[in-house]
Amino acid sequence: MSSITGKLTPKGINVAKVFGTLRRWPIIPVAVVLFLMIIAIFAPLVAPHHPLEAKFEKRNVPPVWTEEGTSEYLMGGDHIGRDILSRIIFGTRISLMVAATVLAAGAFVGTALGVTAGYFGGIVDEILMRLVDFTYAVPFILVALVAAVIWEPSLQLVIILLAIFTWPPFARQVRVETLQLKAMDYVAMARVSGASSLRIAFKHILPGIVPTVMVMASLQVGALVITESVLSFLGVGIPAPDPSWGSMVAQGRNYVATAWWIAFFPGVAIFLIVFSMNFLGDWLRDTLDPKLRQL
């Protein structure tokens, strides 16, 4: 095997070119995200077992490659005999659905309010930015715990709570971008030509903000998955027995010494999606920012 000097390996593979391609394009992160999306969409077809099906004789059975493992449960069984792999697959659907729904709501509301605050300024900007500051000042975990006491934990409650605390970062960043764009010459020309404020804000300024929103959304996915997992870990997220990566980690914390696979594999799934989306977000930022493209 040759070193990474651009020479061909005995099999004719240019190692330097391969590494260069992997550095230039987010092939691995995109592959991981697409794989998780596919198994989430086709979870009933992909999962070898029903996520709620329990077999007491398979209780805490280890993964297939261990001495006491069985091919029926490839990643082992949990504390009541449910298939870890099947629960991870269905948990992927829940985690990605929560992230997608919350991002859609948060990005839409935050972008609209950010453009409004940045373009109109004055009292409108002051009110909206103080609302952002107020949202940042409220402890999210405390609100989630209180909400779980008042209302029963549910998927809808998790989505609403996350959406409420997701829009402020979008609003603040979009406001800054809007302040810069509204001082551009093409915006001044549109204003002179008689275009309305609403048309200028959402026809001329908004398209220039879309790349920033895309980058922020990709970076927020990892944070949302972790937050949802933390809520489920604390018992105020996705209620049992529905599978969730966070709840699976929480269920396995009491069996780390005897059945490590119960918490380990859901933790690996959380790591993969967060790691991949952060890499994808960095790539989007470097690609869409003209200043970074010149480096």
For 40-67, how does the pLDDT look when each residue is reduced to its tens digit (9 = 90+)?
A: 888 888 888 888 888 888 888 888 888 8
Is 172:132 a contact under the CB 8 Å cutoff? yes
Domain membership of residue 267 (yes or no) is: yes
CA separation, residue 290 to residues 154, 163, 230, 284, 287 (Å): 43, 31, 36, 11, 7
Q: How many residues does the chain have?
A: 295
Give the span between the Cα atoms of 163 and 171, in whole angstroms.
13
261-288 helix and 27-41 helix, angle to the nearest 10 degrees = 130
Which residues of the chain have a pLDDT value below 70?
Answer: 1-23, 288-295
Domain count, the chain: 1
pTM metric for this prediction: 0.77
Instruction: Give the per-residue pLDDT at 257.
Output: 81
Burial of 91 (0-12, 13-18, 19+ CB in 10 A): buried
Is 2:259 a contact under the CB 8 Å cutoff? no
Domain membership of residue 184 (yes or no) is: yes
Domain membership of residue 5 (yes or no) is: no
Instruction: Give the per-residue pLDDT at 17.
Output: 67
Residues 164-209: tens digit of each pLDDT:
888 899 999 888 888 888 878 877 787 788 777 778 877 888 888 8
Domain with 56 in it: 28-293
Domain membership of residue 8 (yes or no) is: no
Number of neighbours of residue 93 by Cβ within 10 angstroms: 20
Domain membership of residue 7 (yes or no) is: no
Domain membership of residue 217 (yes or no) is: yes
3-class DSSP state for residue 131?
helix
CA separation, residue 58 to residues 55, 70, 73, 160 (Å): 5, 9, 8, 37
Domain membership of residue 60 (yes or no) is: yes
Tokens for 147, please give them: 């909400």
Q: What is the CA radius of gyration of the chain?
A: 24
Tokens for 262, please give them: 């119960």
Number of neighbours of residue 12 by Cβ within 10 angstroms: 6
Number of neighbours of residue 71 by Cβ within 10 angstroms: 7
Is 269:244 a contact under the CB 8 Å cutoff? no
Domain membership of residue 19 (yes or no) is: no
| CATH number of the domain encompassing residue 102 | 1.10.3720.10
